[in-house]
Every structure is written in C-alpha cells, then in structure tokens.
C-alpha cells in the first residue's frame, strides 16, 4: 500500500510515529492534505489537531501547538512546541486553561500582548479538547 511515514517530535520526546495514507495539518496558509510522494516543502503550522488517516476507520489525531512541518516524498516530520495524543490529554486541565483564556480575552484590549497570549492559550486548549473528543 502507498503510505507516507509520519513523525511528530517535541524538544522532549517523540510523540508519534506511524504510516499514513494522508496527513492533514493546518499550515499558516491553510489546511494541507499530504499524500505519499508529495512535493518536498517546509511550512510553519498553526495550533490545531493533526489528522493521520490510515486505513478505513483507523485514524489518529494528535494535538499540535504550532511548530514546523517538513515534507519529503516518503516522510512527514513535525517539530512541535508541544504535542499530545488523545489519551495523554488532561481534560480538566484543558478546560481550566480554556476558561482562564476566555476570562483574559474578556478583560483585555484587543491590541494587548495579554490578549494575543490568551488567544493562543485558547487555541491550545480547544485543540486539546477536540483531540480528547470533548
Ligand atoms: P496550561 O495553562 O494548562 O499549562 P498551556 O497551553 O499553557 O496549558 P503548554 O505551555 O502548551 O501548556 O504546555 C506545557 C506542557 O504541558 C507541555 O509538555 C504540554 O504537552 C503539557 N500540557 C499542557 N496542557 C496539557 C493538557 N491539558 N493535558 C496534558 N498535557 C498538557
């Protein structure tokens, strides 16, 4: 079968290794579907789930909080700031982070650095909740 290797690493550890029919990731310019033999490229990623589509009904979802994706014809490597698998996600912690971020967004002006920080924290929390299925 025609597959592409996938590796997701953070500064701390290898979070995920597998083989995909297609990898869906959110690049800074939009969603990307990477198939085997894709043209080589490097792109920054947004904070979003990465979907590794394997066989029918067998997909993996990984919470990725930004970083870089390097695509070669036979391999996708994601160097992420943080990344978690669904069963590694502490749902209560992500919910608390989401509430904290929403409070800060309500309290701060749009131009504030704290507002921007809260927006990113909110995206991380929502990505984790999505991947955890919550
Ligand atoms: P928090 O405010 O809860 O710390 P955060 O988005 O600021 O959330 P990060 O700075 O993105 O946290 O991550 C710090 C470390 O904690 C990373 O190793 C990340 O994988 C881990 N982490 C963060 N939130 C969770 C979570 N809800 N479940 C499991 N691990 C998490």
Q: What is the pLDDT of residues 29-87, one digit of tens each?
A: 999 999 999 999 999 999 999 999 997 778 999 999 999 999 999 999 999 999 999 99
Nearest atom in ligand 1 to 89's CA = 28
Domain ranges of the chain: 4-84, 90-132
Q: 98: Cβ below 6 Å to ligand 1? A: no
Nearest atom in ligand 1 to 121's CA = 6
Q: What is the pLDDT of residues 92-117, one digit of tens each?
A: 999 999 999 999 999 988 888 889 99
**Integer Cα distance of 70 and 77 in angstroms:** 5
Q: 88: Cβ below 6 Å to ligand 1? A: yes
- Atom 15 of ligand 1 has which residue's CA nearest to it? 82
Q: Is the model's pLDDT at 1 over the cut of 70? A: no
DSSP label at residue 88: G
Q: pTM for the full model?
A: 0.95
The architecture CATH gives domain 4-84: Sandwich (2.60)
90-132 CATH choice from 3.10.20.30, 1.20.5.440, 1.10.20.60, 1.10.10.60: 1.20.5.440
Residue 19's SS3 state is strand
Distance 1 CA to ligand 1 centre (A): 36
Q: 90: Cβ below 6 Å to ligand 1? A: yes
Residue 93's SS3 state is helix
- Atom 9 of ligand 1 has which residue's CA nearest to it? 82
String of b and e for 95-105 (b: at least 16 CB within 10 Å)? eebbeebeebb
Taking CA atoms, 109 is separated from 15, 99, 120, 122, 123, in Å, by: 36, 17, 15, 16, 18
Q: 84: Cβ below 6 Å to ligand 1? A: yes
Q: Is the model's pLDDT at 118 over the cut of 90? A: yes
Q: Is the model's pLDDT at 7 over the cut of 80? A: yes
């Amino acid at each position: 079968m025609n597959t592409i290797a996938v590796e997701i690493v953070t500064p701390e550890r290898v979070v995920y290794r597998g083989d995909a029919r297609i990898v869906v990731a959110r690049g800074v310019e939009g969603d990307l579907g990477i198939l085997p033999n894709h043209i080589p490229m490097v792109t920054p990623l947004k904070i979003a789930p990465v979907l590794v589509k394997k066989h029918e009904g067998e997909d993996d979802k990984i919470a990725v909080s930004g970083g870089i994706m390097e695509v070669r014809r036979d391999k996708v490597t994601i160097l992420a700031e943080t990344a978690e698998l669904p069963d590694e996600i502490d749902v209560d912690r992500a919910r608390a982070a989401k509430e904290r971020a929403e409070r800060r967004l309500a309290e701060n002006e749009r131009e504030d650095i704290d507002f921007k920080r809260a927006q990113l924290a909110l995206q991380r929390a929502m990505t984790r909740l999505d991947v955890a299925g919550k």
